[in-house]
Amino acid sequence: DIQMTQSPSSLSASVGDSVTITCRASQSISSFLNWYQQKPGKAPKLLIYVVSNLRSGVPSRFSGSGSGTDFTLTISNLHPEDFATYYCQQSYSHPRTFGQGTKVEIK
């Protein structure tokens, strides 16, 4: 199984800051990497698919990059509504696996 490891597990930031979340796969997954956002008590929502493609309606302050085993999600100019937990997920093979999540909290 492909293990997905996110770092950090949590971070504190202020409105207006830029933050970067890293996701590392235990083996190469090419560009089969997606990102989801989850707010407390809500279902996850797709943010970015196939590394860097923003889902329609997702603000351009979100961006993704990477290939192979190392990927990043960057949020520029944090807005209050961006404080949430973010998960990466690989679709290279079954079983599909998620990172453990990165909680972005308000400083």
Partner 1 sequence: EVQLVESGGNLVQPGGSLRLSCAASGFTFSNFAMSWVRQAPGKGLEWVSTIGGRGTITHYADSVKGRFAISRDNSKNTLSLQMNSLRAEDTALYYCAKEEYYYDSSGFSKNYFDYWGQGTPVTVSS
Which residues sit at the interface with partner 1, rule CB under 8 A? Answer: 1, 31-32, 34, 36, 38, 43-46, 49-50, 53, 55, 87, 89, 91, 94-101
Q: How far is the CB of 22 from partner 1 (least distance, A)?
A: 16
Cβ closest to partner 1, residue 16 vs residue 41: 41
Which residues are 86's β-sheet partners? 37, 102
**52 Cβ partners below 8 Å, 6+ apart?**
63, 64, 65
Which residues are 106's β-sheet partners? 13
Cβ closest to partner 1, residue 17 vs residue 98: 98
Give the HSE-up count for residue 104: Cα atoms under 13 Å, Cβ half-sphere.
27
Cβ closest to partner 1, residue 16 vs residue 42: 42
Q: How far is the CB of 59 from partner 1 (least distance, A)?
A: 17
Note the Cα 107 to chain centre separation in Å. Answer: 20
- Cα–Cα nearest to 71, from 92, 55, 57: 92
Q: How far is the CB of 95 from partner 1 (least distance, A)?
A: 5
Cβ closest to partner 1, residue 18 vs residue 68: 68
